[in-house]
Amino acid sequence: KEWIGQNEGVLSWKLDGLTIVLTYEDGKLAKAVTRGNGEFGEVITNNAKVFANIPVSISYKRELILRGEAVIRYSDFYKINNEIEDVAAKYKNPRNLCSGSVRQLNNKITAERNVHFIAFSLVKADGIDFDNSRIAQLYWLIGQGFDVVRFKKVDAGNLEESISWFDDHIKDNDFPSDGLVLTYDDIKYGESLGKTAKFPRDAIAFKWRDEIKDTRLLEVEWSPSRTGLINPIAVFEPVELEGTTVSRASVHNLSIMEGLELGIGDTVSVYKANMIIPQISGNSTRSGNVKVLEQCPVCSYKTAVKQDNGVKSLYCTNEDCPAKHIKSYTHFVSRDAMGIDGLSEATIEKLITKGFIKELADIFRIDKYKDEIIRMEGFGEKSYYNLLASVNKSRKTSTSRLLYSLGIPNIGLSNAKIICKHFNYDWNLIQQSTFDELIQINGIGNVMAEAFVKYFSNEKNKIIVKDILEEIEFEDIKLEKADLLFENINFVITGSVEHFKNRSDLKAVIEERGGKVTSSVTTKTNYLINNDNLSNSSKNKKAKELGISIITEKQLMDWFNDVY
């Protein structure tokens, strides 16, 4: 109030994104630059053109320069983060996501991120009389088709009331804001004040004070990760923070836990860093009765405390701990493997951390933990039963799916199909196959055969497979003449397809009939499939050089029909 004095001002959200300067010429966007260090920014014109709400053209035809904030809405931020299975790869806040999005080399990715541009000041628009008012400038920008920051005209008399209005609407504001900005409405007066080395003197900004609430600590959970690190997680009585209910917060490491002297039943203060990530800021009771875990909650091996730059952290000492092999579980349930929908990497990590999954076969036994899973964060009865249905559906599978799902080095889906077909889909013959038998199969070389035999010679792996076999049932596969139609024949597919949904579908049909599809034309290639056999593509040229037959998709289908 002292700062605004007898003047009028513009009070608006302090948006938490990336400041962008736009230049329009002849009504079209000519340049977009990030603020950078205040003098030199980064040109991002190509990406700015695909911002969700940027005007493609405006009625003002002279040079227009305006400043605003590129932001990603909270709703879009949560949606994007929920689609990222790897917990470590999730974005910390909308600002980080926005910053990375506007700098993408491929603006298709920028477009998918739904970045918005919110204007907050006009820099140049010659020939327009704004009556010396910043508010008039903002309304003019609205008339040109720009979204501008939400603002209120204020003076010393209504300033507190206006701040309270913004305070009350934090929960409703979908655009990230970390405070408020107050600017003099009088343009000439503001400019007469000059500026410091970094900031103009015609505006001030304040950040919101963190909303802090006290609650009671109920327990400390220990969460192992794929690096072996075991993080303490504080679980407390639920509190409302920034419009959401919060009941858990990471304590990050032992040094922080010991510094807070956490104890069960303590009264702790909780807030949301960046209005998103729950944190514990203090502990008024400090009973310090939480003990450091001596055994990993997943595999029960001994834990060890390590120090790095004075920070103490807890680790699992077992190299074979399931928590360290999340990727193998994710591969096992993937679409082309066992095909269990609803088991994202994040969900698998939760189930492993809780101790519900200790080996691959345990995925089929999650019904033992029904009540616990339903109570898990992000779950409920519907999610649980959907997951259970997907698990049970996957029990009936094929030998090639199982073989691929085991993640044996160099054994991809197509190689798994070739091996299984060679042994007439008999799992016992598949598992017991020797190196010499495997290298007799067209397409299976020494490296693959060695990896295969090594895997099934390992006693731990034998137990893993035995336990899985107790939970699944193989589909009956009747071998017919068509099943062996392309046995020992190598194909390459190029160009567009007409009779199949995509090239992957065509590849699957060939592989189901014993053929092999590779990505490049070599002396081992028997046929190149290309609907345009007159094209000058590199694959066509190579095939002609090597004397390899080029056939169309229709010719391949006629081949099917002759057999059927």
Q: Please give the mean pLDDT across all residues of the chain.
A: 88
Specify the residue for token string 């343009």: 187
Mean pLDDT of 94-99: 84
Q: How far apart are the first and last CA of the chain?
A: 87
For residues 559 and 226, which has the higher predicted lDDT (pLDDT)?
A: 559
Q: What angle do CA 398, 401, 404 make, to 5 degrees?
A: 145
At a CB cut-off of 8 Å and minimum separation 6, what does 49 contact? 29, 32, 107
Q: What angle do CA 34, 39, 43 make, to 5 degrees?
A: 30
Mean pLDDT of 286-308: 91
Report the pLDDT value the prediction gives residue 484, as an integer from 0 to 100. 66
Q: What is the pLDDT of residues 153-193, one digit of tens each?
A: 999 999 999 999 998 888 788 998 889 999 999 999 998 98
pLDDT of residue 90 exceeding 80, the answer is: no
Q: Which two tokens stand for residue 32?
A: 């977009």
Q: Which of 107-111, 144-148, 542-546 has the highest mean pLDDT?
A: 144-148
Rg (CA), the chain: 31
CA 369/CA 111 separation, integer angstroms:
41
Give me the catalytic one of 14, 350, 421, 507: 14
Mean pLDDT of 23-50: 84
Percent of the chain clearing pLDDT 70 (strictly above): 94
Mean pLDDT of 510-522: 84
Q: What is the pLDDT of residues 210-220, one digit of tens each?
A: 788 999 999 99
For residues 447 and 260, which has the higher predicted lDDT (pLDDT)?
A: 260
According to DSSP, residue 460 is labeled H
Catalytic: 14? Answer: yes
Across the beta sheet with 490-493, what order do the strands follow?
A: 516-518, 490-493, 527-529, 549-551
User: Which of 120, 113, 109, 112 shows the shortest CA–CA distance to 16?
Assistant: 120
Give the 3-state secondary structure of residue 473. strand
pLDDT of residue 394 exceeding 90, the answer is: yes
DSSP assignment of 378-439: T--HHHHHHHHHHHHHTTEE-HHHHHHHTT-TT--HHHHHHHHHHTTT-HHHHHT--HHHHT
Mean pLDDT of 388-409: 93
pLDDT of residue 562 exceeding 70, the answer is: no
- By the 8 A CB rule, do 342 and 382 touch? no
Mean pLDDT of 352-364: 91
What's the one-letter identity of residue 354? K
Q: Which two tokens stand for residue 216?
A: 């009671």
Residue 68 banded pLDDT, cuts 50, 70, 90 = very high
Q: What angle do CA 122, 126, 129 make, to 5 degrees?
A: 80
- By the 8 A CB rule, do 488 and 481 touch? no
Q: Which two tokens stand for residue 296?
A: 């990993």
Q: What is the pLDDT of residues 184-202, one digit of tens each?
A: 999 999 989 887 766 778 9
Report the pLDDT value the prediction gives residue 40, as an integer from 0 to 100. 61
CA 307/CA 475 separation, integer angstroms:
52
pLDDT of residue 505 exceeding 70, the answer is: yes
Q: Which two tokens stand for residue 538?
A: 């590199």
- The model's pTM is 0.48
Using DSSP bridges, classify how beta strands 28-34 and 177-184 pair: parallel, antiparallel or unpaired: unpaired
Among positive and negative, which fits the CA dihedral 341, 403, 431, 424?
A: positive
What's the one-letter identity of residue 163? I
Report the pLDDT value the prediction gives residue 274, as an integer from 0 to 100. 62
- By the 8 A CB rule, do 267 and 285 touch? yes
Report the pLDDT value the prediction gives residue 227, as an integer from 0 to 100. 76
Mean pLDDT of 410-426: 86
Residue 564 banded pLDDT, cuts 50, 70, 90 = very low
pLDDT of residue 131 exceeding 80, the answer is: yes
- By the 8 A CB rule, do 237 and 215 touch? yes
- By the 8 A CB rule, do 203 and 181 touch? yes
pLDDT of residue 140 exceeding 90, the answer is: yes
CA 339/CA 333 separation, integer angstroms:
5
At a CB cut-off of 8 Å and minimum separation 6, what does 519 contact? 492
Residue 483 banded pLDDT, cuts 50, 70, 90 = low
User: Which of 316, 301, 328, 295 shows the shortest CA–CA distance to 461?
Assistant: 328
Mean pLDDT of 81-103: 73
Residue 277 banded pLDDT, cuts 50, 70, 90 = confident
